[in-house]
Structure 1
Amino acid sequence: MIVGTAGHIDHGKTTLVHALTGVDTDRLPEEKARGISIELGYAYLDVPMLDERPGARPPEAGALPPRGADGIPARGLDRIGFIDVPGHEKLVHTMLAGASGIDFALLLVAADDGVMPQTREHLAVLSLLGITRGAVVITKADRAEPGRIDALRQEVRALLAGSGLEAAPVLVVSAPTGQGVRELRELLFAAARQQPPRASEGLAARLAVDRAFSLAGVGTVVTGTLHAGEIAIGDELALQGRRARVKSLHAQNRAVERARAGQRCAVALAGIDRDEAPRGQWLTAPAAALATDRFDAQLRLWPGEARALRSGARVHLHLGAQSVMASVAVLSEGDAIEPGGSGLVQMVCQATVGAWRGDRLVLRDAGATRTLAGGVVLDPFAPARYRRTPERLAELAACQLPTLARRRERLLTLSPLGLDLARFAQAEGLAEPLQGWALGEAPRAALTARLLATLADFHARSPDELGPEAGRLRRLVAPRLAEPLWRDLLDEARAGGRVVMRGGFVHLPEHGVQLSAVEQRIAQKIAPRLAAAGAEGAWARDLAKDCGEPEPLVRATLARLARQGELHQVVKDLYCDKATMNLLAAIARRLADEHATVTAAAFRDATGLGRKRAIQHLEHFDRVGLLRRVGDEHRLRADSALFAENSS
């Protein structure tokens, strides 16, 4: 369990931690000279194990816990970590760097001073971070009369009303005389035994770096609270885009092979320098590493604020151990959040931050003089456009559901173009990265219906064509749909007999009807003539004349053959056979591979055709989806499978 001390300057935080643990957390010379904490300080206290044998007495308060021959506390023993934070107003940002990882808060109020400005702000910070486990400690009891203590109890109770610590016990302590120290220690032991474990199974390691230094013979060491997952010696971790290996590891101030979520850790890293690990950065498993300058969140404005929080407000954003300037865009109706109220916001940061779904954040005003609001991250991949649409607000509501399974299920339903599983896993901070895309049942049905309707419309408008090429059909149906999802959707429709694929073309089953006996006879007559015509092609009227068949019947047969994919209509009434078009497509592919583009001149020279016919063939390839025109050039479509089997 991590305990954080909070309270006004010189209200006895460091002295109390020393009385509880025997450790002086003021480690800097200037701290000792001035008698105040400037940096975060740390101390530890072992929790005695309860002897559950009948009649056994609990261990004496303050008694040393059982230890092994190596001096390390017995296995299974818990240890409380204390974070002693500065109380000075100018050092609230340092306090926030430590407070983001605490489980239990001790809010200190000196009996001789009473409730002071930083008492109120630290209480606001703790409440806005969602901390509900804690106690209030009235310190320096030896300096006040009993009547003063009673009055201060009532003042503290009034202060806590409406905060996350409203039900917290109030203890009276004097560190110099020892009054109340034993009771407070026992309270902490009981809280540590009841501390629920932080979620670690399935989550990637994430440690908020609040301190970094170099040790001779060890190298770079970073410290912080492990927010999620586990870290073990030998693990490869990421920090600011660089990879580093864990050389050694301390958790709760003792050497370990593995550390778990909720522990204070010191991690010795190989492969990274001290100046590459500044305070505020995240040490994470590589799969979960992310940096964003825009995220959506649920925010609560502190009830003590005098004015509403409106879009455009510039604030100091505190997230993990990091602090950056940011602006607020209110997404909720009314474009403002009233004091004591909650709403959805988008945070636009001036520098990238690490933010995962469920992380807590605190906002202070632009002048860093007071705490404004706190909240929780909903989506680290927030869109810059369409951020207030009903569809987007429904997605943010899904992000607030209590379990990962329910969030994923609801987002699948709300994602008409599918859910990017890799991005979902990264936002959730999962240890095992997910791959590919997923499509919910309702979006899948809607897309299939749109596919069939698009094909029916295409056949109605172009009855002489077999159907669009698969890539072109995707651009007509759902151009932003991920390619793997499109292939899956098409394969499912084909397996169910709802569409037919011939070559690279897609059509409805009823569109590719069989030839009649007369049409088969005409097809046999025109086949050698089309083959002889080659890339120049043959006109419908000439084929009818050469075959001695009625022109309307020849036209109908040519159209039917084109619908079956056996012929290609290059321009109206001009046809080429399938083998010829395969050869021409292979030439176009080769030119695209060699020069990145296909020009009319290069295609003309490669095929031996005249310029006019070469351009007609290129325009036909544009229409069917093999190429796309960009200015005077043609580029190969990466998603087109047309003629690929004949492109060697």
Structure 2
Amino acid sequence: MSNFIIGTCGHIDHGKTALIKALNGFEGDTTKEEQERGITIDLSFSNIAQGEQNIAFIDVPGHEKLVKNMIAGAFSFDCVLIVVSALEGIKPQTVEHLEILNLLGVKNAVLVVSKKDLVEDSELEKKLLEIEEFISRYDFDLKFSMGVSIYDEVSVEALKERLFTLDASTKVEENFFRYYVDRVFSAKGAGTIVTGTVLGKPIEVNEKVFICDIQKESKIKNLQVHSVDAQTANISNRTAINLSGVDAKDIKRGFVISKKGYLRGFNSIDISFKALKDKFLHHNRQYSIYIGSRKIDAKVLLFNSEDSLEEGFASIKSEEDIFSIYNEKLIIRDGNFTVAGGVVLNPVSDPMKKSQKLHLLEALQKQDIPKAYSILLYAHKKGLGLISSAQRFALSHEEALHSAKELHESFVDEKELIIYPLATKDTIYANIKNIYTKNQYALLSNASIKLRLKWASSGFIELVLNELVDEEFLVKDGNLFKNANVKEDFKTSLEQVMLKRLEEEGISPTAPYNIYDDLDLDRKMGDEILKSLCSKKQVFRLQHNLFVHTNSLSKLVNDMKDIIKKDGYIDIANFKELYPLSRKYLITYLDYLDNFSEIKKDGNKRVFNTLN
């Protein structure tokens, strides 16, 4: 089914809402306040359908004090229905709406000169030409223009038919679903319902979605597209989503719903901007930022000026996280005045020098993604996650991989989706070689090296390990790597090293994984060595992570029995006087005494069993 969204624009009382009602019978002004005042206060949504075609309407308020509501709807327009009264012509809010839509990048436009019944035909033709000429100053693709009266059914039907001839869909499929909430409410028997426009990718009933602003996952219980239950909601569908497991009071207009793992929020993003004619954006000043259906109060910091600019690059710094993507449009306002429009270039906050950031923004503005990758890679020497390309560059998984592979002097781990500067290989090389040089009995796997170099992917580590094998510095034994210069039996040598370590640590031994790390041992091999020592009864396992040298344990047990002989019992207090160990060790050793038939437990004490 063909879907696109037409939004209205125009001055108050020029007949936008009445025109929508004439087209589809929908009464947009439904609240008591709207009906009493005779104006549209908030957004209203409706549609018309013909065969496989569906046109959604977003009717916006025309009052100057309600521009923020207008912007909340305008971001999702595929086409704008410019409504101008035949009696009044272009008025201030018509102009501001056109400016905002231009800044948001809306191209497709239809002009309707309303209330044509109130002027002569000759005057109507004159008005049409005047308004068309005015609109031509903006960057719109005017599809057609015509005069309409809501009291002239023929003109209304003619408009409807011409709307169905439009091919106005502008939204492109991205590699993940996005959705700005513009309304939220709770319905009896259903629970939390949000409304908005589907962006990025379609969604289906029973899918899991992620509410970014509150970091909460939810399941879609039901979908409605224009008040009709649907299994799937497609791009540009005005859609109501029934969410499970989340309270309506926890969600607000402007919240972003997506899929888990695709969008990260940042309180600083970078943009390019262009101010309206005769207006400027000032450095280090607080503005209202409108992005999607959200309004954010934020500080704007210019890149190339400490005063003001008509156009350029800027950072937006907010106390709230912003969940945005590359090339997303936004509006910047100062009080009740629209100042500029912006394009999100860098939605991910990176620790970069200002000079680096400037080169990055220049590349992104030109949509030179390979160059942007190169700049980011230089700043992210320990790896740049390709999964972030969906947000950073609005690229699919395949496109991101293709761009990454075209880079020179880089390593792409396709499995873990990380790209590294090839020079970073030297860091991994030096780390591994240093381990085996310091400890000739080091015996590590790829996985155990990754525990030490958490930023390095398994694929990158494998590349270096294979190079060290080729250099005959290491020898591969199964999934383990050992020093090529050591010819003796590794396992026997390592058992003796481990046994000596445990003997030296006595009755307060280090946890096994820490010992493995100290001895540069793979964890699986370390477990096998401890198991062998236990089977030989050289080491005793008291708990999951507590292994004690048998000699140390025997001596301790004798000392504990001596305490009972002396005091008539042993408990934590008198045990600690002789052995000031941590409570964990004291309790474990007292519990171990229970294995001896000559000892019995008496409350929290251990005493000799007089029956023996």
In the superposition, the TM-score normalised over structure 2's length comes to 0.69
Counterparts of 2:431 and 2:153, CA distance in 1:
81
Structure 1 letter corresponding to 2:150: A
Deviation at 1:176, TM superposition (A): 2.5
| Per-residue CA distance 1:391-420 (angstroms, 9 max, x = gap) | x34444555576999977986688543221
Instruction: Quote the residue 1:553 is aligned against.
Output: none
Instruction: Quote the residue 1:421 is aligned against.
Output: 386
CA 1:431–1:273: 2 relative to 1, 3 Å: farther
Structure 2 letter corresponding to 1:376: V
Correspondences of 1:69-84 after superposition (within 5 Å): 77-84=52-59
The correspondence for 1:264, drawn from 203, 228, 238, is 238
The correspondence for 2:224, drawn from 250, 257, 269, is 250
Instruction: Quote the residue 2:277 is aligned against.
Output: 304
CA 1:125–1:386: 2 relative to 1, 3 Å: same
Q: Which runs of 5+ in 2 are unaligned?
A: 412-421, 532-612
CA 1:644–1:103: 2 relative to 1, 3 Å: same
Instruction: Tell me if structure 2 keeps the 8 A contact 1:137–1:171.
Output: yes
Structure 1 letter corresponding to 2:354: R
Counterparts of 2:300 and 2:242, CA distance in 1:
37
Instruction: Quote the residue 1:227 is aligned against.
Output: 199
Instruction: Tell me if structure 2 keeps the 8 A contact 1:422–1:434.
Output: no
Is 1:211 aligned with 2:180?
Answer: no
Instruction: Quote the residue 2:355 is aligned against.
Output: 389
CA 1:595–1:498: 2 relative to 1, 3 Å: closer
Instruction: Tell me if structure 1 keeps the 8 A contact 2:273–2:343.
Output: no
Correspondences of 1:67-466 after superposition (within 5 Å): 77-145=52-120, 149=124, 152-153=127-128, 155-165=130-140, 167=142, 169-178=144-153, 180-191=155-166, 194-196=167-169, 198-200=171-173, 203-239=175-211, 240-297=214-271, 299-307=272-280, 309-331=281-303, 333-334=304-305, 338-339=309-310, 341=311, 343-365=312-334, 367=335, 369-383=336-350, 385-390=351-356, 392-397=357-362, 399=364, 415-425=380-390, 427=392, 442-444=409-411, 445-448=422-425
Instruction: Tell me if structure 1 keeps the 8 A contact 2:78–2:171.
Output: no
Instruction: Tell me if structure 2 keeps the 8 A contact 1:589–1:647.
Output: no
Correspondences of 1:552-591 after superposition (within 5 Å): 581-583=497-499
In the superposition, the TM-score normalised over structure 1's length comes to 0.66
Counterparts of 2:268 and 2:524, CA distance in 1:
38
Counterparts of 1:415 and 1:498, CA distance in 2:
31
Deviation at 1:45, TM superposition (A): 0.9
Counterparts of 1:642 and 1:396, CA distance in 2:
49
Counterparts of 1:463 and 1:249, CA distance in 2:
62
Deviation at 1:14, TM superposition (A): 0.2
Structure 2 letter corresponding to 1:140: K
Instruction: Tell me if structure 2 keeps the 8 A contact 1:210–1:224.
Output: yes
CA 1:447–1:217: 2 relative to 1, 3 Å: closer
Counterparts of 2:12 and 2:209, CA distance in 1:
37
Deviation at 1:32, TM superposition (A): 1.2
| Per-residue CA distance 1:482-506 (angstroms, 9 max, x = gap) | 3546524422433543853799999
Deviation at 1:219, TM superposition (A): 2.3
Matched residue of 2:354: which SS?
Answer: coil
Matched residue of 1:389: which SS?
Answer: helix
Instruction: Tell me if structure 2 keeps the 8 A contact 1:205–1:285.
Output: yes
Instruction: Tell me if structure 2 keeps the 8 A contact 1:220–1:273.
Output: yes
Instruction: Tell me if structure 2 keeps the 8 A contact 1:221–1:268.
Output: yes
| Per-residue CA distance 1:432-469 (angstroms, 9 max, x = gap) | 89999x8965134323356668999x89xx99987999
Counterparts of 1:110 and 1:175, CA distance in 2:
12
Matched residue of 1:95: which SS?
Answer: helix
Counterparts of 2:465 and 2:367, CA distance in 1:
35
Structure 1 letter corresponding to 2:285: A
CA 1:166–1:492: 2 relative to 1, 3 Å: same
Name the stretch that deviates more: 77-86 or 136-145.
136-145
CA 1:582–1:278: 2 relative to 1, 3 Å: same
Counterparts of 1:325 and 1:637, CA distance in 2:
52
Name the stretch that deviates more: 132-141 or 490-499.
490-499
Deviation at 1:643, TM superposition (A): 7.5
Matched residue of 1:381: which SS?
Answer: coil
Counterparts of 1:589 and 1:370, CA distance in 2:
75
Structure 2 letter corresponding to 1:101: S
Correspondences of 1:541-552 after superposition (within 5 Å): none
Instruction: Tell me if structure 2 keeps the 8 A contact 1:10–1:36.
Output: yes
Instruction: Tell me if structure 2 keeps the 8 A contact 1:42–1:83.
Output: yes
Counterparts of 1:195 and 1:153, CA distance in 2:
22
Counterparts of 2:80 and 2:507, CA distance in 1:
69
Structure 1 letter corresponding to 2:200: A
Counterparts of 1:245 and 1:506, CA distance in 2:
46
C-alpha RMSD of the superposition: 4.6
Counterparts of 1:589 and 1:99, CA distance in 2:
73
Matched residue of 1:184: which SS?
Answer: helix
Structure 1 letter corresponding to 2:87: D
Counterparts of 1:422 and 1:589, CA distance in 2:
48
Instruction: Tell me if structure 2 keeps the 8 A contact 1:583–1:646.
Output: no
Q: Which runs of 5+ in 1 are unaligned?
A: 50-76, 515-560, 568-576, 598-620, 628-635
Counterparts of 1:249 and 1:424, CA distance in 2:
29
Identity %: 26
